[in-house]
Amino acid sequence: MNVATNLNKAEAAEHYTQMLLIRRFEETCAQQYMQGNIRGFLHLYIGEEAIAVGSMASLEPEDYVVSHYRDHGHALAKGLDPKVVMAELFGKSTGCSGGKGGSMHLFDVTRKFMGGYAIVGGQLPIAVGLALAIKYERGSGAVLCFFGDGAVNEGEFHEALNLASLWALPVLFILENNLYGMGTHVDQTHAGGRDIYLAAEGYKIPAAQIDGMDLVAVKEAVGEALTRVRSGSGPVFLEAMAYRFRGHSMSDPSTYRDRSEVEEWSLKDPIELFKRVALAQELLTPDQIGSIEREIADSIEAAVRFADESPVPDPDALYENVYS
């Protein structure tokens, strides 16, 4: 990671703050889940923060983001208020989806964050539809579509890539390959193993594999890809290699992973890697880091308090936003 040649001090502080916010938010979610304040499924984004933050750094206001069920990090990086995200996880009416979506269905149309999707691969055709709308209306925006390695075995994956390429749509496909689809290693589920990006070549889509634990590498690759996408040249495919430090969900003890593997990847923690280099190159100071930690702690505390004090949805809300 060569931070100094790519970021100024303000950018370094902003990116570090965003990554640390996601990490602390997710750690707090785990605590709240154990206390029973968050129910249902909960999939944490811990370990993959550099992908969300590095990707969002190159977005313009008119760009859309479509995510998967591990969507908290993407939502926060896109600028959603931690308070309304936490309230959604608590199932409260002040949540970004009115308390009716929960962890896997965060939405904010005003920020063009078009949701997480619990159906594996379900977000891919949604992203293609949004990109088609942009092209139809001769817009200048692009669509970032995040998905996991488990989605590449779904039919929607191939349909989406095929149509996006045929119609030269402005969509950037970002595969977050954290090596595991639930509890099964990607080497056992995909013939391409750890080189899934090569599948895009069959659809004549430019593709590359990047280090998803390196924020600067992600930011540069996504920036270059979006330049091509916005030019009207069609879609681009990036495979970001990463690792989730927790199990598939809070109910997953993650016993299928060797301790040595987890320890090896923990040495590549994207936040610690970025902090170490930024400190060495004097883009961040120890005092700044301490201040950021305190600000985030206060923000998370406020988010939990807001969620806890918010009301549950009124029963009549069941009939809102329903098409007939």
Domain ranges of the chain: 9-310
- What is the model's pLDDT at position 6? 78
- What is the model's pLDDT at position 324? 67
Share of the chain above pLDDT 90, in %: 80
Q: State mean pLDDT over 162-189.
A: 90
- Could you report the per-residue pLDDT of 79-118, keeping only the tens digit for each? 999 999 999 999 999 999 999 999 999 999 999 999 999 9
User: How sure is the predictor about 180, in pLDDT bands with cuts at 50, 70 and 90?
Assistant: confident
- What is the model's pLDDT at position 5? 62
Higher pLDDT, 1 or 259: 259
Q: CA 6, 278, 226: angle at the middle one, nearest 5?
A: 30
pLDDT of 193 > 70? The answer is no
Q: State mean pLDDT over 3-31.
A: 92
d(CA 112, CA 131): 12
| Ranges 21-30, 151-160, 176-185: which has the least confidence | 176-185
d(CA 312, CA 310): 7
d(CA 77, CA 65): 11
Higher pLDDT, 189 or 109: 109
Contacts of 114 (CB under 8 A, 6+ apart): 64, 65, 66, 107, 126, 130
Contacts of 226 (CB under 8 A, 6+ apart): 58, 59, 63, 142, 172, 236
Q: State mean pLDDT over 224-229.
A: 96
Q: Are 25 and 72 in contact (CB under 8 A)?
A: yes
- Could you report the per-residue pLDDT of 267-324, keeping only the tens digit for each? 999 999 999 999 999 999 999 999 999 999 999 999 999 999 999 999 998 888 887 6
- What is the model's pLDDT at position 257? 82
Sign of CA dihedral 149, 150, 153, 158: negative
d(CA 5, CA 140): 29
Q: Are 165 and 234 in contact (CB under 8 A)?
A: yes
56 closest CA partner among 36, 41, 71, 69? 71
Superfamily of domain 9-310: Thiamin diphosphate (ThDP)-binding fold, Pyr/PP domains (3.40.50.970)
- Could you report the per-residue pLDDT of 49-61, keeping only the tens digit for each? 999 999 999 999 9
- What is the model's pLDDT at position 18? 98
R_g of the chain computed on alpha carbons: 19
d(CA 40, CA 17): 29
Question: In whole numbers, what is the pLDDT of the chain averaged over residues?
Answer: 93
Q: State mean pLDDT over 3-19.
A: 89
d(CA 270, CA 62): 28
pLDDT of 258 > 90? The answer is no
Higher pLDDT, 5 or 257: 257
Q: Retrieve residue 209's tokens.
A: 């594999």
- What is the model's pLDDT at position 261? 83
| Ranges 66-70, 113-117, 255-259, 278-282: which has the least confidence | 255-259
Q: Return the amino acid letter for 85.
A: V
